[in-house]
Each structure stands twice: as C-alpha cells, then as structure tokens.
Amino acid sequence: MSTRRVKRIRDLLAKKDLDGILVSNPANRRYLSGFTGSAGHLIITPEVLWLFTDFRYADQATKEAPDFTVVRYSNNTGNIYSVMTETFRSYWYDKPVKIGFEGDFLVHDVVQDLRSAIPHLHLDNLSLKALRMQKDKEEIEYIRKATQIAEEAFIEILPRIRPGISEADVALDLEVAMRRRGAQGKAFDFDFIIASGYRGALPHGYATDKLLVAGELVTLDFGALYKGYRSDMTRTVCLGPADAKQREIYQLVLKAHEASYSAMRPGAPCKDIDGVARQIITDAGYGDQFGHGLGHGIGLELWEEPFMNTTSTAVMSENMVITVEPGVYLPGWGGIRIEDTVLITANGCESLNQTSKELLELI
C-alpha cells in the first residue's frame, strides 16, 4: 500500500529533478509510511526511505513503517538536525543535494536550521497538498465507517435532544455513543458544534452550557475518527413544530444542498459547485448570510484538499471525498446548515450519509 504511494513521490522527484523530498506534515507522513506517531520527518529519495523520529517512537515506527529505515534522534544523541546531517553525509558525502520540502507546512525557522546544519543542502519549496485528494479503496472504507459510526450515534441520542439539556451534554452524549461504536475519538480537534437558538448564527458555535429551549433550532456538526480517518456531518433539528421562517430557510438550505450535490461529478470545477449553492441562496436574498465555502475534502485531516469555495481551482475527480455544507446564518435569529460527506464516483457522486435531511421536528 505504501509502496504505491511512495512511487508517486518518486515520480515527483524525477519530474522536479530533486534528490529527495522531506515530508513533515503528520498526515502526509502517515499516508506515505504508515507511522502514526506525533513526531517525525520522512526523507524519500529514489533509493532510500528514511523515517527520522525521536526515541519515544523508535519501536513504534519500526513496526508501523517496515519499508522505512528508522533513524532515531534524542537530546542525548543529538537533535534532528545533527542526526540528519550525519545521515546525509554518510549517504551523499559532501555532494550538493537538492531536497524538496513542504513550504506550506514547515515553518521558516526549521528550514533555516536545516540549511545552516547542512551547508551543501539546497531546499526547494514544494507542495504535497494534492497528494491525498483521491482516496483509495481502504481510505474510502474507513471514511464510510467513520460516517456510519457518527450517524448511528446521532440516531441513538436523538431522544435526548430535548428542552432543558445543555449543548455540552449533547456533545458529550454524541462522543460517548461514537466511542461505544468503535470510534477512536472525535473527528474534530475541538469540541463538537452544538449551536441552539440564537447561537446557531455562529457557524462554529462550539457546545456551551446553554440549555436547549422549546421552539429553537439546534445545529449539530460532528464526526467520528476511525483508523485515523474522519467523518463530518451536520444536521439542524427543531425542538417542536417549526414556524414559517424556520421552515422557509430550512427548505432553502436543503434546496441548495441537493442542487449542488446533484451537480458533483468528475470534471466539475469545485468553484462551480460552490456557485450552484451560492446562487440559490443569493436568489432568495440570503447570499451575504452564507459566508463560508460550500465544502472541503476530508480524510486523514478534517479539512484537506480540495476545497469548494469561490476561489477554488480544483476540479473533481473519481474517489475524492468532499463535504457539502451550505448554511444560512442570521444574527439574533439563529442558523441552519446541512452537511453530508460525498464520494465522487465514476459518473457522479454518492453521499456516504444515510440520515434523512428532511427537517426533524423533535418533541
């Protein structure tokens, strides 16, 4: 599995005329090597695969990344730069070496440190952002499972979403229900978004101790982590029968969701699909209240390429997994967002979500 992925990097090396690539983004590091630890760098050359990590992870790295030669560093044996210098010297001697690095990830200081530690090293800025856009079979299976876990948890806790319970309790219930179903944890590095009533106007309204009140809309945005892969979904429910305005805006967001979903297929520019939802919402007079992009790629990271927004240059292709999440947010009133995770197929797309998107009126 990692062999095929490493080959893509080696093809890139040849194309860019580089001696090697330094991979530092944890998601890319895991994707290429299998190593799940929190610290480390890969160096991939046409002939060798090195994984530099510190002493805490040396055993784990050897097990998880059998194709790589693990080079251990610790404060006792020298920091990462001195260990890299030694490794480079023993491999390339003092030959000038041209290495690509993730300029959109590695901080300037680290690049400077490497340059001064290894004088004959030339570092070229490179982006690996597109590396994980198209998912393979196993990745799709994990995202599908993460989605299923989140949906089952949502259905389980629905009876507890009632006036009097706090947003924080809803978030906790969701997390516990997901973990019981085999999730490693939350798909988010922050709390789930549980935004009730007026707080629904905050697209990123993390759960607070606010109690739910009858008649309010509640936006729940959450996901599960499964084997390193993430799911992401949003449903907005109403605590009781919806009034005319709640119903009107809900139907508008649903229409935007369904129209953009139906347009997703290989060859479709992400920007155009964003435009489909944006046009519908703008035509209804709420364009300014849809202040975020329509969706994002998802996989080892919650937000990854491709992004669907007004400036996106990405074009959809088979096996991309992208969220669709139009929303309308009215300060003082609240908000509505509906989000599914969608797989681009050979001829169109398939939502990985099964949960109904019709307005749920609880109580």
Q: Which stretch binds Zn ion (CB under 5 A): 33-41, 119-127, 225-233, 235-243?
A: 225-233
Which one, 173 or 339, has the nearer CB to Zn ion?
Answer: 339
Which one, 83 or 150, has the nearer CB to Zn ion?
Answer: 150
Q: What is the DSSP string of 277-332?
A: HHHHHHHTT-GGG--S-SEEE-SSSSSEEEEESTT---B--TTBEEEE--EEEETT
Q: Which stretch binds Zn ion (CB under 5 A): 138-146, 173-181, 215-223, 278-286?
A: 215-223
Which one, 28 or 323, has the nearer CB to Zn ion?
Answer: 323
Q: What's the min distance (Å) between Cβ of 221 and Zn ion?
A: 4
CA dist., res. 21 & res. 39, Å (int): 17
Q: Which stretch binds Zn ion (CB under 5 A): 171-179, 244-252, 333-341, 345-353?
A: 333-341
Residues, the chain: 363
Q: Which of 173, 221, 274, 305 binds Zn ion (CB under 5 A)?
A: 221
DSSP, collapsed to helix, strand or coil, labels residue 156 as helix
Q: What's the min distance (Å) between Cβ of 156 and Zn ion?
A: 19
Q: Which of 151, 167, 216, 232 binds Zn ion (CB under 5 A)?
A: 232
Tokens of 236: 């907005």
Which one, 93 or 190, has the nearer CB to Zn ion?
Answer: 190
341 is a site residue for Zn ion (CB under 5 A): no
Q: Are 101 and 24 in contact (CB under 8 A)?
A: yes
Q: How many helices (H) and strands (E) does the chain have?
A: 9, 20
Q: What's the min distance (Å) between Cβ of 146 and Zn ion?
A: 13
Closest CA to 166 of 192, 131, 184, 130: 192
Q: What's the min distance (Å) between Cβ of 298 and Zn ion?
A: 7
For Zn ion, how many residues bind (rule: CB under 5 A)? 5
Give the DSSP H/E element, type plus range, for residue 334: strand 334-337
Which residues sit at the interface with Zn ion, rule CB under 5 A?
221, 232, 234, 323, 339
